[in-house]
Structure 1
Amino acid sequence: MDDLAFKIFKLSASGFCCTQIMLKLALDEEETKNHDLIRVAHGLCKGIGSTQKTCGVLTGGIGILGLYAGKGHEEEYTQENFSRMMDTFCEWFESEFGSTECIDLIGVTEFENGDQSYQVKCGDILVKSYMKVYEVLSEYDYEYGSRE
């Protein structure tokens, strides 16, 4: 757990947001890189487009589940357990943290003025959520770190 918290701290200190951190952790576990995916995830930062709406940790967790069970190309189908996995994670997230909205979780934050206080609040949410994604994948017989 401490190792995970340290990795999260380092990624945050490097300027990655919650959504990007969740996805980078998953890719690092596989020892792969996908810079385009991480760039795309930047739009989900700070509650989708910095609006403080849906939490970036939540969207990042759903993104990890999608890496394992979502549709990725024309010859592929979404795994039938994908919706159940998302439901499990989303229901747990709201129950665990009391909301799925960034503003409810970290309070009003003036990102444009350089307010970084949210990073401490998000750290615990990141650790717990990342561990829950791992748990959900295991429950549905996915080997975390290996999508082959």
Structure 2
Amino acid sequence: MRGQVLGVDQRTGEGLVAGDDGRRYRFTPEDWAQRGEPAIGLHVDFEAEGDRALSVFAMPAAGGVAAARHPAPREPASDRNKIVAALLALFLGTLGIHRFYLGRTGSGVVMLVMTLTVVGMLVTGPWALIDAIRYLVMSNREFDARYARD
């Protein structure tokens, strides 16, 4: 039977194939019958036994070339800038403005309320400084993944 790989767990190597018959079949790394690893979107040929896909082979693409792998899904890009967040944390950080900017409203309110007291200022000052340093040290990819809008 033929089908298409729907997903593969990178830790265990187990995967799921959508068969041309409309059913889904599980496979394990032992069922993958060729070198290389399965990839999402890869067209495959396999033997079906119950809900299992056995002897799973990648289908060659047109012209005998190995089937093209689909690129991994892109991580969400953030519309927020880590430099702006760091500057807000440095200059207005005790008020929690950088937290509001990044969509962390709850902690922004906590910082704003704590700033009303002297003891709270002693807490929010270092908190904001640590946040600013974290934003600057964090990679763009990690920043985008963490602070992207849902």
Who wins on radius of gyration, i.e. which is larger? Answer: 2
Greater share of helix: 1
The bucket for the TM-score relative to the shorter chain is: under 0.3
Higher relative contact order (CA 8 A, sep 6+): 1
Normalising by structure 1, we get a TM-score of: 0.27
Greater share of strand: 2
